[in-house]
Structure formats: C-alpha cells, structure tokens
Amino acid sequence: MMLCLVASLSRGLSGVRLQVVEKVIQLLNQDITPVVPSIGSVGASGDLAPLAHAVQILMGEGCATLSNGEVVSGAKALEMANLSPTSFQAKEGLGLINGTHLMCGSAALICEDFVQLFKAALCACSLSLEAQQASHGFLDPRINEARVFEGGKLVAKSIRELVSGSEIHADRKKASVNVQDPYSIRCVAPVLGSSWEAYQYARRSVELELGAVTDNPLVFENPDSGDTEIVSAGNFHGMPMAMPLDMMSIAITHIAGMSERRTNLMISDPNTPMLAVNPGVESGLMITQYTQAACMNELQGLASPASVSNISTCANVEDYNSWGPRSAAKAMRSLELAQIVISAELLAGAEKLERRRPSVSGDGVEQIHRLVRSKVERLRTDRSHSGDLEALQQLIRGNSFDHLVQLQM
C-alpha cells in the first residue's frame, strides 16, 4: 500500500511536496510498517481510513511495527528513523489518504500468489490423473485447438508435459477402466483454463492501476497559460480493482472445487476405499476430505462478489462504493483455503499412486510424488493429517512446484 502510494504521488499530479514522499520512502527503506486496521475502507473515496492510519506516522501519531516485530508509537518510530514530525500543507493530507493503494497493493500480491497456487493445482491434478489411471484423451492438442480457447490449451499442455511417458497410462489397455472419466478430470482444461483467463484479466487491471494516479482532486498545469488547474473528479473509485478481485475469488473457488472432487473420486474408489491401509477398521483420508469440504463451503461464500452490494456513505454524496478492500480480503482468504484443498489432493494423489506400483508415471508426476514424500510419509496406519496438510501447504507457499510447470504456450 505504501509503495503504491509513493508511486502515485511521484507522478506529480497530487499536490504533495517532494520531501513528504521522501519521508514515506524512508519508512519503507527502514522497514517501519504502520499498524493499519484491516477493515475501514469502502473502496470509493480512496482507501481513506487505512491510508490515514499509514501516513499518521509522519505526524508522530499512531503505531508502527519494526523489523523485529516490536510495535512502537508513531513518535518513537520517527525518532528511530531519525525523522522529524511533518506538518502537512494544503492538499497534502488529502493527497496522502485519497487513492486505491490498499486495493492495488493487495491485488498485486494476490496475483503473484495465484500463479503459485495455479502451478500447484496443475501438479495435483496431474498426480490424481495418474493415480486414477485416467484417460489422456482430453490432453490431445487437437481437442483444445478445436475449442480455440487459449487458457484450455495452456492447461492441457502443462499437464501433458507432466504425464508424458507414463507407464501407468500405457497399462490402461490391460485394465478395465471407464471410457470417459468424470468431469473433474475430463473437463479440467476448460475449467482451469477459465480461471487462468480470469487471472489474466485481473493482472492486466493491476498492471494499469500500478501506473495510475488515483487521488482527487488532481493538479494540472495548463500547457498554454502555465496556470495551475485543480480538477475534481473520481479517479479514487476502486471499481477497476474491485471487479477483478471479485473475479479472482471466483477463479480460485473453481480451482479448489475441481481439486476436492478429484480427491473425492480417489477415496470413493471401491478398490481403495478411503485410501485406508486397513479399510473398514481405519478411516484413511476420509476426514481429510471433510476438511476440503469445509474449505469449499467457505470458499463458495467468499466467491459472492463484494462489489455488487452497495451501501451509501457521506450523507449520500458517496452513493455508490466499490468495496474493493473487501474483495481483496476475500481473495486473500480464498487463496489460503485453496492451498489447504490442493494440499489434501496432493496427499491423496501420492497415496493412491503408491497403489499403481511397480508402474511409474511420467517424469514430471514422479517428481511431484517425490516432493510430497519429502514432507509426508506414506500411510502405514491411521494418523492425524493436520501436520501433513500444513507441510504440503508450506511446499505450495515455498514455490516448490514452480519449476515443474512452464505457463507459456
């Protein structure tokens, strides 16, 4: 949020002195982070309350968190940064608190974390595909060329590379298998491809907003007369961020939804009930799928757009707000829940792939399996899976699957 604020002010249309912007930069460089409430912005007159909490540090007010995690007063933070309190001049206060910087900063981080999740989801899907000994028919390039859908082509190509050279798939000819697999496998290209396209829309929106000036009013120089002109309008409105962020929550929910369905397929197989070592006596991964179901219940609620529910503020002058900060908060929570869902699929997929031995999958899938096994042991009997899910979630957050998927056509 502070970095976006600095960038916007640096474009010279906000009526803020250079030394004020330099002080914000010094706070950033010294890792002094203002304490800002997570709730308080309606996302239309700029992120007023969060930005006010951020920049009140410049006056020696509020609180800040230091690099060691210690929380100190704003006055103490300034002293430690060797900065004097600022007395703002006309327009500076408004220029500092008007703008979409909370929404934009959050959206930039969400976009980065989405790519991380997406790659892990493709890996989990490939693992499950092989664990189920499913058909590779939906990966045929001709199928996706016929759909003329770039997102679907990208997903199919990524999975095709991960399963390439699979002995497990070659063994399908000897096995009694379904001609057509359930949609959570067969339709992964159009569904996850749609999520990828939604991300592309969000990313383009964020990239534009990162280069924007979003406060109000703006200060311009008349090129003919040289006079200063102050123009009041609505660049602070957060809808260009709110709608893409709402779309991100929907995209994430679909990724997680297909993952949960594939996990359910694996534990529902009568040949490997609940993936238990001793079925009937032990519950295997039954409760792990309950965890996925609980995540999905919350995700489905989070996917309801924040931006379509209007509440007026400021005595009806601000009569149509964006709620972009809530869209951002929901997307962040959606990412966290989806990581848990994907972790559970990785756990189940690795377990079921063991049942296909001695046949092996493609090199990519085998690398995924080894990654999972580097953190989680194979089931020997029932155990708590909380630690397993946490360990796999850390793999996702640590970009451990990044090198396995190249998201380029």
Assigned domain for 54 exists: yes
- 168 vs 177: CA distance, rounded Å: 12
Assigned domain for 30 exists: yes
- pLDDT greater than 90 at residue 176: no
Q: How would you list the strands of the sheet with 33-34, edge to edge? A: 33-34, 63-65, 71-73
Assigned domain for 409 exists: no
pLDDT attached to residue 173: 80
CATH number at residue 7: 1.10.275.10
User: Do residues 38 and 81 both lie within one domain?
Assistant: yes
Q: Which helix (H) or strand (E) holds 71?
A: strand 71-73
How is residue 151 written in tokens? 């997102």
pLDDT attached to residue 177: 72
Q: Side chain identity at 394, as an amino acid letter?
A: Q
> Half-sphere exposure of 17 toward its Cβ, with a 13 Å CA cutoff?
9
pLDDT tens-digit series, residues 232-286: 999 999 999 999 999 999 999 999 999 999 999 999 999 999 999 999 999 999 9
pLDDT attached to residue 265: 97
User: Do residues 67 and 174 both lie within one domain?
Assistant: no
Tell me the residue range of the domain where 255 lies: 102-404
- pLDDT greater than 80 at residue 178: no
pLDDT tens-digit series, residues 312-349: 999 999 999 999 999 999 999 999 999 999 999 999 99
- pLDDT greater than 80 at residue 391: yes
Assigned domain for 399 exists: yes
User: Do residues 92 and 106 both lie within one domain?
Assistant: no
Assigned domain for 44 exists: yes
User: Do residues 38 and 158 both lie within one domain?
Assistant: no
User: Do residues 154 and 189 both lie within one domain?
Assistant: yes
Higher pLDDT residue, 268 or 178? 268
What is residue 330's three-state secondary structure?
helix
User: Do residues 67 and 130 both lie within one domain?
Assistant: no
